[in-house]
Each structure stands twice: as C-alpha cells, then as structure tokens.
Amino acid sequence: MNAADLGLPVDVPSTALFTDQYELTMLQAALRGGTADRRSVFEVFTRRLPEGRRYGVVAGTGRVLDAVENFRFDGAVIGFLREHGIVDEPTLAWLADYRFGGDIWGYPEGEVYFPGSPILRVEGSFAECVLLETVILSILNHDSAIAAAASRMSAAAGDRRLIEMGARRTHELSAVAAARAAFVGGFSSTSDLAAGFRYGIPTVGTSAHAFTLLHDTERDAFRAQVDSLGRGTTLLVDTYDVAEAVRTAVEIAGPELGAVRIDSGDLLLVAHRVRQQLDELGARDTKIVVTSDLDEYAIASLAAAPVDAYGVGTQLVTGSGHPTCSMVYKLVARAESADPGAPLRSVAKKSLGGKMSVGGRKWAARRLDAYGVAEAEVVGTGPVPAELADRQLLMELVKGGDVVAREPLEAARERHMAALTGLPMSAIQLSRGEAVIPTEYV
C-alpha cells in the first residue's frame, strides 16, 4: 500500500538534504576505504525518558516511511553538493543512484516504549543506512514528544474531546506534524487545515475575538456568525462580559446553540457559572469548550468542571516542556567484510557520562503478569524465549527497500489506546515517577 492508496493528497519532495554533512563525509571515506558495503545494523533508542514521564509514545513512523522513500539525490541536489565541495565526484556518482534497499523493523506507530527499547532497526549496507540518521531522528524525536504530551493530556481529559490548536505557536511545517502526532496521542481534531488536507484529521474552528471586535456590538457579531454557520456553531463569550454574552448567545441561537468557548479567566469558576446560566436559559445541550494555555495539569484541574472539550496549543506543540525524546541512532552490529555472507559482529559505543549503548541486533517483547498487565520490557540479542514469542514488539516496515507496512492514521491512534490499557494504572498518573515498567536485557 502506498500514499496514493490511502488517498493522501500531497507529494513529498526529496528528503535527501534533511541530513547532516558528516553523514556524507563518512560515506565518502567509507567508499574510499572499502568499508561502505559492509552489512550493518543501526538502532534507534533512548537512554532515558524525559524527567517525570512514565512511558514514551512512538509517533512519526508513517512520516519516516515517506522520508525514506523520497530520500533521492536529484540533479539540483547533486549540483548543490558539487558546487559547495561537500563530497568528491565518486561519492556524487554513488549518491545519484541512491535508493535505500535494506530492511527496517520497528515498534508500530502508537505503541509505547521505554528506555532501551529498540524503537527502530535499520539494516543494509553501512553506506545506505548511515545517510538516514538525521532525517529519521528529526521525525521520531519531534513527533514522539508531541504524541507523549498528547497522550498525557488525553488521559487527564478522560472522555472529553481534545482539540489541537497550536499551529500559530510553532514552525508552519512542524504544526502539521504536531497535529498528526497529537491525533495519534488521543486528540480528536485540529484547527490546522494543512493537517486536515494532508492526513485526513477532522478540522474545527469558528471565530476569534477579532470577529467580535469587528462589529459594533457583540450581538451583531453573534447574529452574523449564527446566520452564516448555523445554530450549532460555537460562540466565543469572553470578549467583554461573559454572563451578558451567554445571555445574548442563547437569545440569538436558542437552545440549539452548539457550544460556547471560554478563553480567559478562572476557567473552573467561569465554567461552573456558564453551565448554570445555560441550563437556566434552557440551553442544556449547549457544550462548553475551554482554551487558554492549557497543559495536562490544567486539564486535570478542570476534571470537576462542567467542561465538554479542551483546546490546547502552545503546551502541546512544545511537548509540554519536553520538545524532544533524546532518541539516538547507533550502529550496533556490522559485518567484518563486504562479503554478503560475512557474519555480523556486535559493536557498541563505550564512553563516560551515561552515553554507553548496548551492542547487537535486538528483539523486544513485553512480558505480562498473571493479570495480563505489562510488567517488563524485555530486550535481547539471542533467541527469543518461547514464552515471549507471541509478545514481540518489532514489526517489518520496509523489506528490500519497499514499504510493506503503511496504514491509516486511525490505526495508530487505536493502537495507542490499546497499548495504554495494557500498562499498569500508574502509567497515566501525572505525578512524577520513573518508567512504569523496567527494561530487562537478556
């Protein structure tokens, strides 16, 4: 299945320069030294979760597959590299024909992960694998950070809807990726039309304070909006006096008014007052949406408030204080020669300062307790124990250079919800703590 099969209406341009220069200079040296064709295994993992977090969320996998497919050095890119003397002519000739022809295995999108989890495994020649480091990490680090924040907010919100509305708080392209990751993490819609166009995420939005200020009176603004968008619209009621605005909104739209939005003030207190007023005016089915710099803690503090939906912007698109997952891409095994049949040798970085890594081509499985709840993330390099054979986490994503595991975004969202239900209940607590289950190496 490819992007066209899923109905995605956007072409992804070449991703070849979404990389760091040293990846190309390493390639040049490896080609000249005769080691470029050695079979190699790279893995993506993180040594620790962000402080206080109890699990991570894999997001961006679908975007990684697009990026690998479109990692092509076309004429313009080759010309840039030649003009700036980045690499020599033999390397440029090799790059001109580059197509990733290896295999990629990984945790499926929406799955949870823990320190040491082999989130992605990239296998092929050293030359073809080393080039993908930066683009893979840039996608997974960003999207997984947003999805983790979204997941925590979703847990705090319970059954109440979450609206992603952070486009104006980040880079325009990051906003699209953030909306996608938020959807995986549990959000139901986005204000960003580019995200709706590209990924089919439901979009929402009605009006801002500017629309009210445009009119001579708040009544005129509400009348214009209801006449245009219907009685089911959402009216913003905190431009002037909230109580007067609610009264006017119901007079104009009647009890069929869809929702009111509150964007300032003591949200807990105001929400209670607005709910009482709406009920007294007969608008018992009118929903209340709150916005205003919300994060998971603010959402949790509103659990007792009569709120139906939350709109979240800045804190979501910045990962709620953790804008990256600190994932790394490390060589963990390589052949001793370019002979296709040469056995793999485990390799690992040995260093001080907590930057050590574990060598070897790894598998991962999640061990469950007697109640079917996860009790450990088990990572190994040898044979998979029989009792864990049906609990393995990595799935094949790319085989011989061809993507074999594309899926609708909704599948990743559903997988995440299922993954959370399989963790100990303390996983969704907002209080600070360590990873909810340990990582065991065997």
44-60 pLDDT tens trace: 999 999 998 999 999 99
List the chain domain ranges.
21-131+326-441, 146-321
Which residue would you say has higher pLDDT here, 6 or 151?
A: 151
Angstrom CA distances, 36 to 32, 81, 121, 184, stand at 8, 19, 18, 37
Q: Does domain 146-321 have CATH number 3.40.50.1010?
A: no
Using one digit for the tens of pLDDT, what is the confidence trace for 198-239?
Answer: 999 999 999 999 999 999 999 999 999 999 999 999 999 999
Beta-sheet pairing, 344-346 with 327-335: antiparallel
- Tell me the pTM: 0.94
Q: In the predicted model, what is the mean pLDDT of the chain?
A: 95
21-131+326-441: CATH topology is nicotinate phosphoribosyltransferase (3.20.140)
DSSP H or E stretch at residue 247: helix 242-253
Torsion of CA 218, 220, 224, 226, to 10 degrees: 60
The whole-number average pLDDT for the span 387-411 is: 97
Residue 144 corresponds to which tokens in the numbers above? Answer: 């997984």
Q: How far apart are the C-alpha atoms of 329 and 49, rounded to whole Å?
A: 16
The confidence score (pLDDT) of residue 6 equals 55
Residue 222 contacts residue 198 (beta carbons within 8 Å): no
Give the count of alpha carbons within 13 A of 346, CB side only.
Answer: 10
pLDDT at 7: 53
> Mean pLDDT, to the nearest integer, of 397-403?
97
- Classified as helix, coil or strand, 317 is helix
Identify the pLDDT of residue 104.
98
Task: Average the pLDDT over 103-111 and give the result.
Answer: 98
- Position 57, amino acid: V
